[in-house]
Amino acid sequence: MTDVLRVENLAKSFGKTTVITDISLSVPAGSVFGFIGENGAGKTTTMKMILGLLKPDSGSVLVCGEKVRFGMTKTNRFVGYLPDVPQFYSYMRPQEYLRLCGQIAGMSTQDIARRSTELLEMVGLAKVSKKIGSFSRGMRQRLGVAQALIHSPQLLICDEPTSALDPVGRKEVLDLLHQISADTTVLFSTHVLSDVERICDRAAVLHHGTIVLDGNLADLKARHGSTGLRVEFSHPDDLARFCALIPSGLLADPTDTEITVRTTDPKADLAILHLLAEHDILPVRFEVLAPSVENLFLEAVA
Amino acid sequence: MKAFSSFLGKEFQESLRTYRALIMIAAFVALGVLSPLLAKMVPDLLNGTDMGGGAILRVPAATALDSWGQFFKNISQLGVLVLVIVDCGITGTELARGTLTNFLAKGLSRSTVIWAKFVAASVVWTLCYVLALLVTWGYTWYFWGNGPLPHAFLAFACLWVFGEFLIALLILGGIIQANIYGALLAAAAVIIVLNLVNIAPQAAKYNPITLAGGTVNLLSGQNSPGDYLPALWICLAAIVAVMAAALAVFDRKQL
Determine the Cα–Cα distance for residues B67 and B48; give it in Å rounded to an integer: 21
CA distances (Å), origin A33, targets A11, A184, B31: 21, 11, 60
A3-216 and A224-301 share one fold = no
Question: Closest approach of chain B CAs to the CA of A159, in angstroms?
Answer: 12
Domain ranges of chain A: 3-216, 224-301
At residue A61, the pLDDT reads 93
Chain segment A93-107, per-residue pLDDT in tens: 999 999 999 999 989
Determine the Cα–Cα distance for residues A266 and A278; give it in Å rounded to an integer: 20
The answer on pLDDT for B22 being more than 90 is yes
Q: Which of B102, B108, B254 to mutate to test the interface with A (most CBs of A within 10 A)?
A: B102
Query: What angle separates helix B229-252 from helix B110-143, to the nearest 10 degrees?
Result: 150
- Minimal Cβ distance to B108: which of A55, A73, A85: A73
pLDDT tier, A1 (very low <50, low <70, confident <90, very high otherwise): low
Taking CB atoms and an 8 Å limit, are A73 and B254 in contact across chains? no
Length of chain B (residues): 255
The pairing of strands A3-14 and A17-28 is antiparallel
Report whether CATH 3.40.50.720 matches the domain A3-216.
Answer: no
Least confident of A30-44, B33-47, B131-145: B33-47
The answer on pLDDT for B111 being more than 90 is yes
A 20-59 → B contacts, CB under 8 A: 48, 51, 53-55
Query: ipTM greater than 0.90, yes or no?
Result: no
- Minimal Cβ distance to B254: which of A54, A105, A150: A54
pLDDT tier, B2 (very low <50, low <70, confident <90, very high otherwise): confident
Using the Cβ of B200 and the Cβ atoms of chain A, whether some distance falls under 8 Å is answered with: no
Which neighbouring-strand residues pair with A28?
A3
pLDDT tier, A224 (very low <50, low <70, confident <90, very high otherwise): low
pLDDT tier, A182 (very low <50, low <70, confident <90, very high otherwise): confident
At residue A225, the pLDDT reads 62
Using the Cβ of B106 and the Cβ atoms of chain A, whether some distance falls under 8 Å is answered with: yes
Q: What is the mean pLDDT of residues A134-147?
A: 90
| pTM, entire model | 0.82
CATH code of the region A224-301: 3.30.70
> For residue B4, what is the nearest residue in chain A, using CA coordinates?
A104
Using the Cβ of B77 and the Cβ atoms of chain A, whether some distance falls under 8 Å is answered with: no
Determine the Cα–Cα distance for residues A173 and A178; give it in Å rounded to an integer: 9
> For residue A147, what is the nearest residue in chain B, using CA coordinates?
B102
- Minimal Cβ distance to A101: which of B106, B109, B252: B106
Using the Cβ of B17 and the Cβ atoms of chain A, whether some distance falls under 8 Å is answered with: yes
